[in-house]
Structure 1
């Protein structure tokens, strides 16, 4: 077994480091752009008088970062060659995401917005797998370049993980569909021209089939953003939406009628493994910063790193970080080689442990740094507030653990048929 980083991935890391120093760091420090990353960050990023939505200057800075990254050939690394990408592997993306997150806060990799010099494009993969020719022409390249924005409307006020019980419905009338319902945490709606709305078109509550995805123009009569939900980490682009007799043509269906959840689950494993890798990277950043601080902070005439009360929690975290790092890389490597469902449980292990690691490391970094760690003059409170979200979204910890247990006991996955046969 060889645990060294493959030469092509290491070359990419070196190129990314050089690009950050040459292009991104100067931009980050230009015209007081650093206000989006220092102690003023949340205030600078948020338009408090516009329902807490992202500040226009902040979003323009992110767009400029992505333009430069695309021009340099980094942004599309993980996308297929047919859309200008490098066809980067899951292993490559896991190593890159960890590497960038380990650098700490910065314009190179601001995960609050899923903005990075190496892009993560789940919607592009959805389009490539399920969209009609017309929808690809309408959304594919504009989505990559940021000229188009499509929001994602699956979760409802009363339904999150239990999406098959959603109450939003669509009824066909001739060549049109009439949609009624509500969506919650409808991300990306502050700039979106279209929203991917999932609605039941057939079947009964609890059925996986019978849910259809529609591209709904956000200026449609009856489509209303009730409010943007303020969150632990601001700004917000998470809307509460109501749909009252919204009419869309049959051609607005994304994918196949009744099979919308297949669209929603596209790229699920890749997205989760990349989140886990970012958790490892940011966890290592918090550990590294804490160790350096502890070695230099003198209390009662000696560095606090001499105290076991400081040493042991960080030693525990470093051990956890090493274990999760190698589980993430092994699982990413297997994703490149096997059917995704064969390693779905491992992806869930990576995801919930990586997200938990990030939160625990940020919390310990605050404790190690004392009062300064609690202040906004250090990045740990921001890291905690952001990564705490991932223990709920993209499948909560409980859902991830449920998946692991399902594979372990044969309620799901490869052992299921053997379990059912044994029960006969």
Structure 2
């Protein structure tokens, strides 16, 4: 069967490229310190615990404003949010394409900033928020006028989210929250934090966990420090909640069903992370092939050495196999729903993130000493995509999810003896 990317997606990508060249690349050129070998230093406020520098955030906001005005930024969002209902397949193609261009203002590898939106918290509020929450937060989230942090991970619990130690108890019409969060992304920029706390049920069970919108300036909400990470700048602070009082209307979704919100967030991100990592891998492969064509070693082009050829052939073979499975999985998500192919999403997420790291490592090696410098993007791509092997579920969690479907865990009776 002859399969090609649908015409409407190809047309959108072509229009997006034209917009980037006309509006975003010139804007990037006006601020070279954020994109050349100085990028990490220039983007990071080293005197303010490693958070993003104000000037960098302002540039990202201008990129978003231009993309939104041109009609590209909201593409994947529902029509109810002024989006174009972009499909999972379309977003897989777009994300890979953007990153395969290399890191730049169009996709700077700083959190999830991009000329095409990735706003899972807005989708969470659209699906589970009250009308008041939706009216207050969704449009400001889209325009960048507001941020909402995401507080799920804890000092003692990362992938095992059903074992949360943060608790919330009723006090009249209010809730009192106590606990701690780790890598609580975007707290430095956010007015509110989407905090997950156990309000009932048993450890190890999803039921009984509730999601709350907690103001970051609330009494008892504190940020003792910010984690400096492999990829800087970092907005992944530690958060303490000591008798933080929130009203009943702060609950997002149903009491005791907060992990529904978290699952929507994660399922939205995993397939897009995979596409981004595939794009990063392809960028590293393409640049390495170009270099091997030009570089002469021991009297002949680098491309003529089988040791170099085969490394790149192996990487390109893996990339092509992954691309086919990624597109098929994204199309199945569109047809059957996000959770119907959760094992396939785990497969492409794990393999794509691993491939990005391998390709960046090989690119550094093939480019020699210069490949190790920040004159090239390979180290930057490696540091960012190495994070993806932990966030939204570690490699091991992806394997566990695949095994759950493969061995039918949860649907067959447990045996003993």
The TM-score, its normalising length taken from structure 1, stands at 0.96
Matched residue, 1:331: 329
* Distance (whole Å) between structure 1 residues aligned to residue 266 and residue 235 of structure 2: 21
* Distance (whole Å) between structure 1 residues aligned to residue 408 and residue 340 of structure 2: 13
* Distance (whole Å) between structure 1 residues aligned to residue 408 and residue 111 of structure 2: 37
1:262-277 superposed matches below 5 A: 262-277=260-275
Matched residue, 1:347: 345
Please state how far the C-alpha of 1:110 moved relative to its aligned partner: 1.8
Q: Does 1:226 align with 2:224?
A: yes
1:57-68 superposed matches below 5 A: 57-68=55-66
* Distance (whole Å) between structure 1 residues aligned to residue 102 and residue 264 of structure 2: 29
Going from structure 1 to structure 2, the CA distance change for 1:422 and 1:51 (only over 3 Å counts) comes to: closer
Matched residue, 2:17: 17
Please state how far the C-alpha of 1:420 moved relative to its aligned partner: 3.7
Q: What is the DSSP-based 3-state SS (H/G/I as helix, E as strand, rest coil) of the residue aligned with 2:183?
A: strand
Picking from 388, 391, 409, the partner of 2:407 is 409
Matched residue, 2:354: 356
Query: How many aligned residue pairs are there?
Result: 416
1:185-334 superposed matches below 5 A: 185-334=183-332
Matched residue, 1:377: 375
The C-alpha deviation readout for 1:357-404, integer Å capped at 9, x for no partner, is 110000000000000000111100000001000001100000001111
* Distance (whole Å) between structure 2 residues aligned to residue 113 and residue 404 of structure 1: 26
* Distance (whole Å) between structure 2 residues aligned to residue 139 and residue 52 of structure 1: 27
Q: What is the DSSP-based 3-state SS (H/G/I as helix, E as strand, rest coil) of the residue aligned with 1:49?
A: helix
* Distance (whole Å) between structure 2 residues aligned to residue 62 and residue 181 of structure 1: 33
Instruction: Please list every run of at least 4 consecutive aligned residues from structure 1 whose deviation after the TM superposition is greater than 4 angstroms.
Output: none
Q: What is the DSSP-based 3-state SS (H/G/I as helix, E as strand, rest coil) of the residue aligned with 2:101?
A: coil
Matched residue, 2:129: 131
Matched residue, 2:51: 53
Q: What is the DSSP-based 3-state SS (H/G/I as helix, E as strand, rest coil) of the residue aligned with 1:111?
A: coil
Please state how far the C-alpha of 1:269 moved relative to its aligned partner: 2.4
* Distance (whole Å) between structure 1 residues aligned to residue 231 and residue 393 of structure 2: 19
**RMSD of aligned C-alpha atoms?**
1.3
Deviates more, 1:111-120 or 1:143-152: 111-120
Please state how far the C-alpha of 1:340 moved relative to its aligned partner: 2.7
The C-alpha deviation readout for 1:172-212, integer Å capped at 9, x for no partner, is 11011111100000000111110011111111211211111
Matched residue, 2:142: 144
Picking from 87, 102, 105, the partner of 1:104 is 102
Q: What is the DSSP-based 3-state SS (H/G/I as helix, E as strand, rest coil) of the residue aligned with 2:336?
A: coil
Q: What is the DSSP-based 3-state SS (H/G/I as helix, E as strand, rest coil) of the residue aligned with 1:128?
A: helix
Please state how far the C-alpha of 1:2 moved relative to its aligned partner: 3.6
Please state how far the C-alpha of 1:158 moved relative to its aligned partner: 0.3
Question: In 1, are the aligned partners of 2:103 and 2:109 still within 8 Å (CA)?
Answer: no
Please state how far the C-alpha of 1:120 moved relative to its aligned partner: 0.8
* Distance (whole Å) between structure 2 residues aligned to residue 155 and residue 270 of structure 1: 18
Picking from 151, 154, 157, the partner of 1:156 is 154
Please state how far the C-alpha of 1:112 moved relative to its aligned partner: 2.1
* Distance (whole Å) between structure 2 residues aligned to residue 65 and residue 104 of structure 1: 16
Please state how far the C-alpha of 1:342 moved relative to its aligned partner: 2.3
Matched residue, 1:394: 392
1:175-186 superposed matches below 5 A: 175-186=173-184
Q: What is the DSSP-based 3-state SS (H/G/I as helix, E as strand, rest coil) of the residue aligned with 1:136?
A: helix
Going from structure 1 to structure 2, the CA distance change for 1:294 and 1:261 (only over 3 Å counts) comes to: same
Matched residue, 1:94: 92
Please state how far the C-alpha of 1:409 moved relative to its aligned partner: 1.3
The TM-score, its normalising length taken from structure 2, stands at 0.98
The C-alpha deviation readout for 1:57-83, integer Å capped at 9, x for no partner, is 111100000000000000000001111
1:75-90 superposed matches below 5 A: 75-90=73-88
Please state how far the C-alpha of 1:263 moved relative to its aligned partner: 1.0
